[in-house]
Structure 1
């Protein structure tokens, strides 16, 4: 999907009128030119295709600078609409791993289901396990 102009441009943007930016799933981008020209604006997480390879492709003329400008414009226009270009971002809060672990335990405990093995129904075997 990261290189599908039909999905990213024809359907998403033209038919549905989406005016935001499109970010890849983690490590889902396999080519630089194919993804960018199809309409993928941002590669996640690390820029394996949109970092140095993109810079090189633009310098070599394999990808027009206008294609990069279009992707950057989409990202920045959404950030502008949300007021994220007006001021420096707030500092990220400290991560509290112990608190996260306590919360995960509470969620797991609340979601646990106890079973009684009436009639020796468990473990499921044979046709019942399929």
Structure 2
């Protein structure tokens, strides 16, 4: 449970992002949000660096955008139906290059050199 104002505000932002996901896809996003919060608490107890609220919220915003795209543009109502073509279409239709959470790396990790980026970077078109 959120104990101070900053935590309460972050919890509200997370909840708004989850509620913006179309209903058929929402339970999985809610479960993932809960998992991220539990992981952060576990990380704090272990004394390791936890994910920040901003990181968690950006990840949820990316999932929301993906879910809206899948439901609205692709007519998909189940995460299991998502494939690489859906992700490529979302990235191609993105109005600007940006870090897209767990499926795309930002420029700072790409600058680490070949083979050092922590996640996949889409090829230039």
* TM-score (ref. length: structure 1): 0.26
* TM-score (ref. length: structure 2): 0.26
Select the structure that is richer in helix: 2
